Structure 1
Amino acid sequence: MSNKPTFFFCKSAAQLEEGCTLSVRMEATGMWKPADILSIKTEGGKRQYYVHFLHFDKRLDDWVVEEDLNLSSVRFPRNCSTAKRKLADEDLPVANETMTRSQQSQLPQKSVDEINAIKNVQWIELGKHRIKPWYFSPYPQEMCAQPCIYLCEWCLKYVMNATCLARHLVKCNLRHPPGEEIYRKDTISFFEIDGRRSRTYAQNLCLLSKLFLDEKTLYHDTDPFLFYIMTVFDSRGFHIVGYFSKEKISDENNLACVLTLPPYQRLGYGRLLIELSYVLSKCERKTGSPEKPLSDLGLLSYRSFWSQAILDVLINQKYHDSENKITISINDISEKTSINIDDVIFTLKELELIMYYKSRHIVCVKSDVVKNHLKNKSKPQLRIDASCLHWVPKEWNSSKKH
């Protein structure tokens, strides 16, 4: 018996139910892609369908209308009733004009039980920016029912409308995150927030970041964490750009969560956040690593940072005139960069710089890698200036209150 999914022609979108798979038009590109229907609702007498595009990030999940659905090839979920199936053109399989045979054969058997949380916030307004969220975040239900949630950009308090926000701003005395400023250069500052001392701010920050981080689970228990908020300064105050968090007590991880808010992405701020986490590790005389597993985007950011930091060390080493080889160990690289040894080895392998020679592993820096590295370094980029950091590591004892 064939295990390939069977597709049916639906006479009406009313026959569709949660768990169905069909071809849907993507708003961003106008292209038709296979998608699962995760939820169905009716607004203004018109049905809407919340869909997840297969093999795409969940941030592209969205509500669509009937005009965006291709009813010529629908796969019903396994638990769909026989009566429901018979409504679909007498169960006659048809060829799908918008999916390739390869795509059809690779579609997973989707269970409604596997459906993840649906995006519940339409828009947020933070300062001068109105932002469309990517993922679900557990804001109060009455807030989520509004077209837009308004956030105070200073304390991150959330309110229902612009009028409530205006009233709040009259009373809000903050013009920067409620912590100690530990770094300032030009218009960029970092503030250290204790998740216990500034619990409300930290929880509001976690709610905000959950809108843009799919795997983030932290919300209520912020006490064990420190938050490092990056801001840009102007005449009005210090505006939040992004942040990273780290556990107060951790033997290995120097970063738990990192986010650059969408209006500030692709400007080099993400790299700056990562770099600061390692500068703090150097101050602690430790090596560090981000909490695993990393997201796809997180891994790309870290690979870029690790590669540049490690190549900086290798290229700056002196060569023996006679043997023409770098006199440095992986432990030395880890110590100089504060990058965990496993991450150093991973990066060297990714760059194909580790070779097996005369019964031992050696690091071989190739000329094309050096050329690309120097070319990338010549481009303007934001960097942490350690001389502008004013921070002393704290001793956190697990046996006492944080």
Structure 2
Amino acid sequence: MVHPDFAPSFLINKIKLRYQSPNSPEGPTPKRSSHRIRSSSDDEMGSMEASTAPENGSATAGGAGGTACNGAGAAPNGGGMERRLRSSAASASWAAHLPLEVGTRVMCRWRDQKLHPVKVIERRKGSTSSSPADYEYYVHYTEFNRRLDEWVKLEQLDLDTVETDVDEKVEDKATSLKMTRHQKRKIDETHVEQGHEELDAASLREHEEFTKVKNIAKIELGRYEIDTWYFSPFPPEYNDCPKLFFCEFCLNFMKRKEQLQRHMKKCDLKHPPGDEIYRSGTLSMFEVDGKKNKVYGQNLCYLAKLFLDHKTLYYDVDLFLFYVLCECDDRGCHMVGYFSKEKHSEESYNLACILTLPPYQRKGYGKFLIAFSYELSKKEGKVGTPERPLSDLGLLSYRGYWTRVLLEILKKHKGNISIKELSDMTAIKADDILSTLQSLDLIQYRKGQHVICADPKVLDRHLKAAGRGGLDVDVSKLIWTPYKEQG
């Protein structure tokens, strides 16, 4: 669940900061007011138009009785009557579809004013009447990640495009082919997930059915209001709250702003509970023991699940250590992300779950957290590896880290070097080193053994493709001893 790097350009409101999810190419950008942070997706969606959207952007949603028009020019004489007849016929046709059934596919006008294909996931009656037209629909934008799923009104849907009998497998395959290599790469860079447990096909379907509708739309955390991405299993009394308010220091959450304001007057914390083990400039890292700070650990998991799709939520946090990264100022230490690790792992896992919060993505923090986990492994005198299975996107982030670390060593090293020596130097597991070098075609089989072929020009090309390494971990600022069970 890594969410690295590449800083967005933010516009900061003097009174209140507003942040919407940095979905880069995973979705169109919302409308912006002058009183909120500009989402990074605003800069990228210009090249992200859905291939099914009309090129001239002139089609109109037909919920109010209008029909889609191709913008080809003014109608000839009598065209007005023809349009009215078409509109009347279309309205009668639409009425037969309402209310739309769950599973219906249709084009939806997003906040970028373009049409995108969606699938109806859920529906609910409106509050004004019992008319079939008075429904809201929870839709999934089939070209993009589930984080963009939302409730929409009928007028946002182009009912001329309603499809009810679509082969989902064919549709899903076609959708996946629409994304360009550049778009997939940008998604990979901004959104990486890693699950605690492997989800087979049946489990994945069950998971998506249970979590298909987001139960919390927004949260307020410190000076940011953040749109959530996914369902999180909060206690029932918090379900369907339009917004939750978190104390950014103890992570207690409330339903109302007034409750948070009262809480902040009594909360003594100005940083995560636990030991500060790293400080460099304005960055600090705190180690939080889940056994000593159980409520904080559970609340952190609730919070993280809002931004991680296939994360297994652990209520027994006693077995985990949480490493919480903060930006510090005169008001306190503000969480930007974290990773967790098991206190004792027989599989040499040095990281279980990792997240950079949306307002702090694209600043190098995700890569910093990965690097930090390996510095802890070096201090322990062990090799480490992230908990499996890694998602495709998680593997991409780790593969980038492994590539940069290994190739920098190979560039500087003179003479022969073995996989074990590389593992001892980097704390990267030998299997991860071997798979990384093989993926780069740097391993050849000669005279009965595997040989690393490190041509300098080839190494430079791979390093350039791997991108920058993010923020550096200053090991001299790390004051930490490995965990030992007390008593």
User: Which TM bucket (shorter chain)?
Assistant: 0.7 to 0.9
Q: 1:177 aligns with which of 253, 268, 272?
A: 272
Q: Which residue of 1 aligns with 2:121?
A: 38
Q: Which residue of 1 aligns with 2:472?
A: 383
Q: Does structure 1 residue 338 correspond to structure 2 residue 433?
A: no
Q: Which residue of 2 aligns with 1:84?
A: none
What code does the residue aligned with 1:52 have? H
Q: Report how far residue 76 of structure 1 moved.
A: 4.6
2-structure distance, mates of 1:340, 1:113: 31
1-structure distance, mates of 2:256, 2:385: 41
Q: 2:403 aligns with which of 303, 307, 317?
A: 307
What code does the residue aligned with 1:215 have? H
2-structure distance, mates of 1:165, 1:132: 18
Q: Does structure 1 residue 249 correspond to structure 2 residue 344?
A: yes
What code does the residue aligned with 1:235 have? D
**Cα distance change on mapping 1:114 and 1:145 into 2, 3 Å:** closer
2-structure distance, mates of 1:380, 1:271: 7
Written as runs of structure 1 = structure 2, the 5 A alignment for 1:30-179 is 30-33=114-117, 35-45=118-128, 46-54=134-142, 56-71=144-159, 72-76=161-165, 115-117=209-211, 118-179=213-274
Q: Report how far residue 185 of structure 1 moved.
A: 0.7
Q: Contact 1:38–1:49 (CA<8 Å) still a contact in 2?
A: yes
What code does the residue aligned with 1:303 have? R
1-structure distance, mates of 2:321, 2:315: 14
Q: Contact 1:38–1:115 (CA<8 Å) still a contact in 2?
A: no
Q: Which whole-Å deviations, capped at 9, do the CAs of 1:189-222 have from their partners, x for residues lacking one?
A: 1111111110000011000000001111223110
Q: Which residue of 2 aligns with 1:194?
A: 289
1-structure distance, mates of 2:208, 2:286: 39
Q: Which whole-Å deviations, capped at 9, do the CAs of 1:76-97 have from their partners, x for residues lacking one?
A: 589xxxxxxxxxxxxxxxxxxx
Q: Report how far residue 299 of structure 1 moved.
A: 2.2
What code does the residue aligned with 2:291 have? R
2-structure distance, mates of 1:308, 1:350: 13
- Structure 2, gaps ≥5 residues long: 1-92, 129-133, 179-204
2-structure distance, mates of 1:377, 1:76: 43
Identical pairs, percent: 45
Range with bigger deviation, 10-19 or 368-377: 368-377
**Cα distance change on mapping 1:148 and 1:73 into 2, 3 Å:** closer
Q: Which whole-Å deviations, capped at 9, do the CAs of 1:19-38 have from their partners, x for residues lacking one?
A: 233343444572422x3221
Give SS of 2:318's match.
coil
Q: Report how far residue 295 of structure 1 moved.
A: 3.0
What code does the residue aligned with 1:54 have? T
Aligned residues: 358
1-structure distance, mates of 2:469, 2:399: 19
Q: Contact 2:367–2:469 (CA<8 Å) still a contact in 1?
A: no
What code does the residue aligned with 1:20 have? T
**Cα distance change on mapping 1:166 and 1:102 into 2, 3 Å:** closer
**Cα distance change on mapping 1:75 and 1:367 into 2, 3 Å:** farther
Written as runs of structure 1 = structure 2, the 5 A alignment for 1:348-359 is 348-359=437-448
2-structure distance, mates of 1:383, 1:330: 24
What code does the residue aligned with 2:156 have? D
Q: Which residue of 1 aligns with 2:16?
A: none
Q: Which whole-Å deviations, capped at 9, do the CAs of 1:264-283 have from their partners, x for residues lacking one?
A: 00100001111111011111
Q: Contact 1:230–1:242 (CA<8 Å) still a contact in 2?
A: yes
Aligned-CA RMSD value: 3.0
Q: Contact 2:404–2:463 (CA<8 Å) still a contact in 1?
A: no
Q: Report how far residue 104 of structure 1 moved.
A: 12
TM-score in terms of structure 2 length: 0.68
Give SS of 1:18's match.
coil
TM-score in terms of structure 1 length: 0.81
